[in-house]
A and B are shown apart, each in its own frame.
Chain A
Amino acid sequence: MSDQVGQDNKPGTDCENAKGAGSSTSESIKIKVRDEAGMEVLFRVKMNTQMRKIKEKYCEKAEKNITHIRFLFDGETINDDTTPKELDMEPDDIIEVVSAQTGGHRTHLY
């Protein structure tokens, strides 16, 4: 399964990430989104597409509730407003999808 995510981003404001400024962001890469069961969804995205869009598209495709999942890249959560460029993503990089965790309502002894 693969999908095209369109690009619809405002350029970052001045107070935003200074590292990303000034270079070309028009190239696109292919990234995989993989869930805990190993199911993968492939996306071709522009380097400056906001992760929010990829997340929304993924939830639509994989029929998941966006509030119940988290996107992780290299063990760190992905903020909705970052982009593959800011995350230094490379072709075929994998985003892992995990379920939200909760606690504080014990029925067992831990």
Chain B
Amino acid sequence: MAVRESTVSRLYCVGETCGEEIIHGFLEICSQRHPRAYIMQCFCADKWANDNFEWLFTKKRFTTFDWVLLPINVDNQHWMLMVANPREQTIAVLNPTGATQNIEFYLECWRRFMRHRSDECTEKLNDWKQVTYPISLQHENSSCDVFILMYAEAILAKKPQVIMRQQHVPMYRRYIKDCIVHNTITAADGRCACSTCCQPKTRTLQWIQCDNCDLWFHFECVDLSNVNLHLDRYYCADCTATGRMLP
């Protein structure tokens, strides 16, 4: 997702609110750096709150991901992070303030969403267990955005979420900005998601994207002999192996 420059520059301003463009821009970068996470759009939580379960993501195989993350926006004032582990079927809502009054509501939304989803697709994940993660809390009013991104990156990078604390917020804010700015510059070069990238030097690079995890691969790095491109679907080796989802 492209993030506008004017949006990015607001990150430096103390007391400015942080829009979902930044939240999702950074989460997307994190999920590219630490693969096997699916980021759901924050708008889903609003839909659920309004009893709307139209979006069911039936083309995705949640169990091919280590994590499903959903930033939750509350009244255009506050950010929380929902963290689901589809293989273990655990679910948590991380609230940077430490308050718990909204958490049960969103957990119930998630369970209802997953029940609707099970009705519509072959992936039946209905038995979700609530878990908690140790997190450090925000000590002032305007850093929930940074905190949920710190939690998200820590989770994806398999680091404890308590490493980052309030005092790290200004530094992390700059880091988020740098990541987004840098990523926009280098996005055209792209990075191949395979672990043994052969870094092809041909004049016209050809890329293919996995239809499940959305990661990009060089043509040269993936075995396309078994893939029928006319089917318009390609699933990478990891998704095929973990999801039994051959087209």
Which residues of A does B touch, CB under 8 Å?
Answer: 14-19, 67, 70, 72, 74-77, 79-80, 88, 98, 100-110
Contact = CB atoms under 8 A, between A and B. Distances in A.
Interface string B57-86: 101000000000000011111111000000
A101 B7 CA distance: 12
Interface in B203-225: 204-209, 219
Interface string B132-161: 000000000111111000000000000000
B169 to A, nearest CB: 11
Contacts of A80: 2
Given A19-B209, A74-B57, A79-B2, A98 B18 contact: no
A110 B43 contact: no
B2 A106 contact: no
B76 A101 contact: yes
B2 A102 contact: no
Given A103-B145, A107-B77, A18 B208 contact: yes
A16 B76 CA distance: 36
A18 B41 contact: no
B205 A70 contact: no
A106 B80 CA distance: 12
Contact of B207 (A15, A98, A107, A108): A15
Contacts of A72: 41, 43, 55
Interface of B: 1-2, 4, 15-21, 24, 40-44, 46, 54-57, 59, 73-80, 95, 97, 99, 101-102, 141-146, 188, 190, 204-209, 219, 229, 232-234
In this complex, which of B43, B44, B74, B76 has the most chain A Cβ atoms within 10 angstroms of its Cβ? Answer: B43
A105 B142 contact: yes
A39 to B, nearest CB: 16
A90 to B, nearest CB: 13
Contacts of A109: 97, 99
B57 A75 contact: yes
Contacts of A67: 4
Contacts of B142: 104-106
